[in-house]
């Protein structure tokens, strides 16, 4: 077996998705997301 991939190799191969799309897949409404850029957000407590 070869060497396992490093964290940076795995991260570089990942495809980033819009945070709204991830939230929708998890059943989180857009109104509950407080976007911080295109790929990350905080959740409101409401």
Q: What pLDDT is attached to residue 44?
A: 84
Using alpha carbons, select from 16, 24, 14 the residue that is nearest to residue 40. Answer: 16
User: Is residue 7 assigned to a domain?
Assistant: no
Overall domain count for the chain: 1
Please determine, for residue 1, whether its predicted confidence score (pLDDT) is greater than 70.
yes
R_g over Cα of the chain: 15
Asked if residue 21 is part of any domain, the answer here is yes
Residue 11 lies in a domain: no
Q: What average pLDDT score do residues 32-40 get?
A: 87
Domain span at 30: 16-43
User: Span 39-45, mean pLDDT?
Assistant: 84
Is 46 or 24 the better-scoring residue by pLDDT? 24
In a domain, 27, yes or no: yes
Rounded to an integer, what distance in angstroms lies between the CA atom of residue 24 and that of residue 6? 30
20 within domain boundaries: yes
């Amino acid at each position: 077996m070869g060497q396992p991939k490093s964290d940076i190799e795995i991260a570089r191969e990942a495809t980033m998705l819009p945070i709204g799309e991830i939230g929708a897949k998890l059943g989180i409404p857009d109104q509950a997301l407080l976007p911080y850029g295109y790929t990350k957000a905080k959740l409101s407590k409401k």
